[in-house]
Amino acid sequence: MQAPTVGFIYPGHAAEDDYPLAAAALGAQLPVVHIHGTDLHAIPELLELGGPEKLRLGAALLAPHRPDAIVWACTSGSFVYGPAGAREQVRALAEAAGVPATSTSLAFVDAVHALGLRAVAVAASYPDQVARLFVDFLADASIDVVSLSSAGIDTAAQVGALTSAHVLQLAADNDHPDAQALLIPDTAMHTMTVLPDLEATLGKPVLTANQVTIWAGLRLAGAEPAVPGLGSLFAERQTDVRR
């Protein structure tokens, strides 16, 4: 089959270089467009960032790429709306784009369920007030968060500056023995190159924001690739998008 094209609406600039790295590994077209607003991890700002006008703009910017599916590549800018609001957010986005749509928050839920997991730990970069909304979002999907840590980082730019060593330390410090997987929910964090080390260190699946975002977009486009180096989520898939 022809390699799919999945378009991503990415807020600002932080870790968008994760996407061409994944595209090269997957043999897929993963164009990224940017919408802009404050990068504060604060509820009013996140609600504004994920608003319908900004997402319609993102869909318009992606239209020349003729994507097979489209993803709002922002965790906090989707879960801050709550489960029903996040579903309405992607329904409106799909209507604007004319193709299936999802978001990073919904991708986390789908990824946890796809791996057959129920109990997870969350290592969040956000302030605690924001991170707890993600826990509520997961709970609505019958996912038990056995441990939550909040790094309290105020902006996406600060998260984007974290090194691989910082990410590995964040994961190692905030896993929990009762968790079947660790979730790291921020698309501003560079994680694609460190996924093998994360899982080797913890000895369990690690789901990161850009990883699940890409996986969910490919799934919407009808591809479920199995490739090495992108974590257990991609190791479980059976269909190679290069065919």
> Could you report the average pLDDT of every consecutive run of 10 residues in the chain (243 residues)?
88 94 93 90 91 96 97 96 97 97 98 96 95 97 97 90 94 96 96 96 97 97 89 68 31
DSSP category for residue 5? B
CA distance 118 to 116: 7
- To the nearest 10°, report the CA torsion of 28, 29, 30, 33: 180
pLDDT, residue 236, reads 61
CA angle 185, 190, 196 (to 5 degrees): 90
Q: Count Cβ atoms within 10 A of the Cβ of residue 238 and give its class: 0-12 exposed, 13-18 middle, 19 or more buried.
A: exposed
Beta 144-150 vs 119-124: how paired, if at all? parallel
CA distance 163 to 169: 10
Half-sphere exposure for 210 (CA within 13 Å, toward CB): 25
Q: What DSSP element (H or E) covers 123? A: strand 119-124
With tokens 């975002």, the residue in question is 213
Starting at the edge strand that comes first in sequence, how are the strands of the sheet with 119-124 ordered?
A: 144-150, 119-124, 181-184, 206-208
Q: Domain 6-107+210-235 belongs to what topology?
A: Rossmann fold (3.40.50)
Size (the chain), residues: 243
Task: List every span in the chain annotated with CATH 3.40.50.12500.
Answer: 6-107+210-235, 115-208
CA distance 153 to 159: 7
Q: pTM for this structure?
A: 0.94
With tokens 């009808």, the residue in question is 222
Statement: 115-208 belongs to CATH 3.50.50.60: no
pLDDT, residue 177, reads 97
Torsional sign, CA 89, 100, 107, 77: negative
